[in-house]
Amino acid sequence: MNRKSDLADGACFKRKRGFRLMGLNFNADGIVRGFFGGNAYLAILFLLFICIFLFKSAIGFIPGFRTELSEARISGIEAANHMNYQLVGYDALYTKVNQAFINEKRAKFGNLATLVPIYEEFESIIDDELEDKVDEYTEMDDSEEKQAAAIKLTTLVTKACGEVSTEELLKTIQSRLPQTTEISDNTYQKALQYAHKYALNDYETPDEINEIPALINDQMGAFNKAMDLIKTSDDELREIYQEIEKIATKTNITISDNRKNLASITSLKDELKDNANDSQVAQAIQTRIKELEPNIIEIDPAKNILPIYEIIAKHDPAADNMVNQFQKGINLLETAEITTEKSTILIHESSRLFQELKEIVTERKSLLAEWKHDKPVTMWNSITAFFFGSDWKTGSDRQSLYGLMPLFSGSLLISLVAMAIAVPLAIGAAIYVNQFANKRESRILKPSIEFIQTIPSVVLGLFGVLVVAGLLQGMSEVSWLSWIPGFPIQDRLNVLLAGILLAFMACPTIFTLAEDALNNVPKAYSEASLAMGANKLQTVLKIIVPASLSGIIAAVMLGFGRVIGETMVVLLVAGNKARIPDLSQGVGALGESVHTMTGIIAQEYGELEPGVLHWKALFMVGLVLFLISLSINSICQRVISRKTS
């Protein structure tokens, strides 16, 4: 038989038959090709779709935020904020001085003060164990029976309090007043007497107990006088702040409610037009409109602002008064006799903070002098208030603020810590596995490192909360490790913890890509180097790593992209405190809780109605995250392509 092979026949080179439509081949090959191509282009379509969705949802934020900001300005909230800012500074300072005062009091008058904690201990025993009895007694009508019950109740109180051993009692007292060494019988009996009074008098704390702090204060001399001055120094400013706050919030709420109600009515009226035929629905809509209409209160901002300006005129003397009186207090403090080291440190710190407060007051004074309620808020103001705002305060009853800075700084700090840990680890591992490890080693190492990637992030997050957080905190409290800056850490959930866990997640990404990059270095390079007499280590460090540097950089950047976009782990372990970390304390800032851009979206998206400003703000944050990831990726592409070209 004369058999011809397909090849000889040329069958495989023949054009397959099929029909063509609009320049596309509709034979089997064409369809398969089209399927693959379509899948690839689908990705671009999808990306485009996400971009449009994000922009569409976020775009209304800037004008919306502008409206809210200008409402805050017209109503005078902004002026109130300037005053509040000084008072917040005062509070921060006062709490320091107060701590010094309390510390000093405890050191000097511990024995007189022990009565209070002992009494409170008894009080809680009564609450926990004898509540029913006390209630029963209180509800009785006055009679002889009640007197008998009173005696019975007092014995019960004595018995219940007696069940706590003196040692146990002393231990609890010592946690508050460390220098207490013993509880005198006299004090114990007195506390017991007051506890009886408490039980018999419907849970009223006896006046004698309430007066003790004042008694102690009287004996503190110059310190007490200084405290009196400091305590009252802010009264005047606080008073005018409360006045301005009351007027401003009222105006602000009216303005924004009016805006919302008007929007509701407009949409209801539109609905009414569509439902004109359905009498039942139309009637319900009209009732609702009637319900809403009286809520719109005519308001004239120009008139409402007048009292605000009157109050602002009073501001400067009040603020000066606060500073002067505080200064007097501080001067008096210097003459006071201070015995404990802790109080001395606190007072020293207060003096330093006082200088800062003075600066704040001067700054806010000039801002208030320039402040005008009708200065327009521009789009640019709204944009800067978002991108550079230092407060993320949502769901507030007076003014919600959407400032990106606390979230951005949190995300960035966590990512930097994660990269500082992951980069040396992952690249070191990649170099070892690629260059030094024998086959058996790399057969074990490579898959194990890559396996880390498969751990779900929620599992890692829970592991962090329940295990690593405790370990880290325990370690930071060990005394011989206290030389490490930032130890002991402040918050259990913090930047360092999140950084460690994210580093663990980023390692496999960086490792795999860096190892690929090392693999791509032509064999000839290393062979040439070795032939020139360089040893293995020299070859690796001087030839192979530099040759694959662009690939390694790309690996690091992709790792960074993965870290900054991670949500679940940071949500669980970063502590979610929307506050810019205090970098002035150096490495200690790593022990603080922070909030992140990804975390805030996951946390606050929950029940928001689509379309409200807060919802749009979250999409703005999402957009920023998206742009960050996009730019990281495109930089990587460039780095890689520069190497190939």
Partner 1 sequence: MKLKSLKTVASAISASLALMSSVSAELIEIKGSDTLGAKLVPQLKAEYLKSNPKVTIDILAQGSGHAFSNLANDTADIGMSSREVKSTEEDTFAKKGQKLVEHVAAYDMIAVIVNENNPVKKLTLAQIEGIFTGSITDWSEVGGKAGSISVYTRNTSSGTYKSFSKLAMSKKDYGDKCQQLEGNQPICTEVSKNVNGIGYVGLAYAEGSLYKTVKVDGVSAKISKIAKYPLARKLYYYTVGEPKGEAAKLLTWMTTSDAASKIVSDIGFVPTPIAEAAIKKDTE
Q: If binding is defined by CB under 8 A, does position 454 make contact with partner 1?
A: no
Nearer of residues 92 and 541 to partner 1, judged by Cβ: 92
Question: Which one of 133, 250, 314, 577 is in contact with partner 1 (CB under 8 A)?
Answer: 577
- Comparing CA positions, the residue from 115, 73, 30 lying closest to residue 123 is 115
DSSP state of 486: T
Nearer of residues 27 and 205 to partner 1, judged by Cβ: 205
DSSP state of 13: G
| Kind of pairing between the strands at 24-25 and 392-393 | unpaired
Stretch that binds partner 1, among 75-83, 360-368, 420-428, 599-607 (CB under 8 A): 599-607
Q: If binding is defined by CB under 8 A, does position 271 make contact with partner 1?
A: yes
Distance between CA atoms of 155 and 401, rounded to whole angstroms?
57
Question: Which one of 609, 642, 644, 645 is in contact with partner 1 (CB under 8 A)?
Answer: 609
Binding-site size for partner 1 (CB under 8 A) equals 73
Distance between CA atoms of 317 and 313, rounded to whole angstroms?
9
Nearer of residues 410 and 559 to partner 1, judged by Cβ: 410
- Residue 420's Cβ-side half-sphere holds a number of Cα atoms within 13 Å equal to 12
Distance between CA atoms of 305 and 78, rounded to whole angstroms?
12
Nearer of residues 59 and 282 to partner 1, judged by Cβ: 282
Question: Which one of 251, 593, 596, 598 is in contact with partner 1 (CB under 8 A)?
Answer: 593
Place of tokens 């219940």: 160
CB 209 within 8 A of CB 133: no
Nearest approach, Cβ of residue 29 and partner 1 (Å): 38
Q: If binding is defined by CB under 8 A, does position 385 make contact with partner 1?
A: no
The footprint of partner 1 on residues 57-86 (CB under 8 A) is none
> What is the dihedral sign for C-alpha 508, 510, 514, 516?
positive
The footprint of partner 1 on residues 290-309 (CB under 8 A) is 292
At 260, list the tokens. 């919302």
Nearer of residues 88 and 369 to partner 1, judged by Cβ: 88
Nearer of residues 109 and 432 to partner 1, judged by Cβ: 109
Kindly give, in sequence order, each residue whose CB lies less than 8 Å from that of residue 474, ignoring residues fewer than 6 positions away: none
Nearest approach, Cβ of residue 605 and partner 1 (Å): 7
Q: If binding is defined by CB under 8 A, does position 103 make contact with partner 1?
A: yes
Nearer of residues 76 and 551 to partner 1, judged by Cβ: 76
Question: Which one of 27, 111, 187, 205 is in contact with partner 1 (CB under 8 A)?
Answer: 205
Nearer of residues 243 and 271 to partner 1, judged by Cβ: 271
The footprint of partner 1 on residues 400-419 (CB under 8 A) is 406
Torsion of CA 617, 620, 621, 624, to 10 degrees: -160
Q: If binding is defined by CB under 8 A, does position 251 make contact with partner 1?
A: no
CB 226 within 8 A of CB 333: yes
Distance between CA atoms of 352 and 320, rounded to whole angstroms?
18
278 phi and psi, to 5 degrees? -85, 100
CB 594 within 8 A of CB 607: no
Kindly give, in sequence order, each residue whose CB lies less than 8 Å from that of residue 383, ignoring residues fewer than 6 positions away: 62
Q: Which helix (H) or strand (E) holds 69?
A: helix 61-75
Question: Which one of 465, 468, 530, 640 is in contact with partner 1 (CB under 8 A)?
Answer: 465
Stretch that binds partner 1, among 57-65, 120-128, 296-304, 435-443 (CB under 8 A): 120-128
Question: Which one of 9, 29, 91, 145 is in contact with partner 1 (CB under 8 A)?
Answer: 91
Q: If binding is defined by CB under 8 A, does position 250 make contact with partner 1?
A: no
Question: Which one of 603, 626, 633, 643 is in contact with partner 1 (CB under 8 A)?
Answer: 603
Q: If binding is defined by CB under 8 A, does position 591 make contact with partner 1?
A: no
Nearer of residues 288 and 314 to partner 1, judged by Cβ: 288
Nearest approach, Cβ of residue 279 and partner 1 (Å): 9
Distance between CA atoms of 274 and 285, rounded to whole angstroms?
11
Could you list the beta-strand ranges (E) of 532-588.
Answer: none
Nearest approach, Cβ of residue 575 and partner 1 (Å): 5
Question: Which one of 129, 243, 491, 516 is in contact with partner 1 (CB under 8 A)?
Answer: 491
At 548, list the tokens. 């694959």
- Comparing CA positions, the residue from 313, 391, 325 lying closest to residue 358 is 325
Stretch that binds partner 1, among 55-63, 66-74, 87-95, 635-643 (CB under 8 A): 87-95
Question: Which one of 41, 56, 63, 135 is in contact with partner 1 (CB under 8 A)?
Answer: 135
Distance between CA atoms of 272 and 292, rounded to whole angstroms?
15
Nearest approach, Cβ of residue 350 and partner 1 (Å): 13
- Residue 606's Cβ-side half-sphere holds a number of Cα atoms within 13 Å equal to 6
CB 43 within 8 A of CB 204: no
Question: Which one of 26, 41, 53, 203 is in contact with partner 1 (CB under 8 A)?
Answer: 203
Interface pattern 330-349 for partner 1 (x via CB under 8 A):
------------x-------
Kindly give, in sequence order, each residue whose CB lies less than 8 Å from that of residue 258, ignoring residues fewer than 6 positions away: 296, 297, 299
At 266, list the tokens. 């407009």
Question: Which one of 166, 184, 189, 283 is in contact with partner 1 (CB under 8 A)?
Answer: 283
Q: If binding is defined by CB under 8 A, does position 104 make contact with partner 1?
A: no
Interface pattern 25-64 for partner 1 (x via CB under 8 A):
----------------------------------------
Question: Which one of 397, 440, 480, 522 is in contact with partner 1 (CB under 8 A)?
Answer: 397
Q: If binding is defined by CB under 8 A, does position 235 make contact with partner 1?
A: no
Distance between CA atoms of 128 and 123, rounded to whole angstroms?
9
Question: Which one of 18, 221, 470, 485 is in contact with partner 1 (CB under 8 A)?
Answer: 470
Distance between CA atoms of 209 and 216, rounded to whole angstroms?
12
Q: If binding is defined by CB under 8 A, does position 362 make contact with partner 1?
A: no
Stretch that binds partner 1, among 221-229, 349-357, 543-551, 598-606 (CB under 8 A): 598-606
Nearest approach, Cβ of residue 397 and partner 1 (Å): 4
Residue-wise DSSP of 90-108: HHHHHHHHHHHHHHHHHHH
- Comparing CA positions, the residue from 639, 61, 640 lying closest to residue 394 is 61
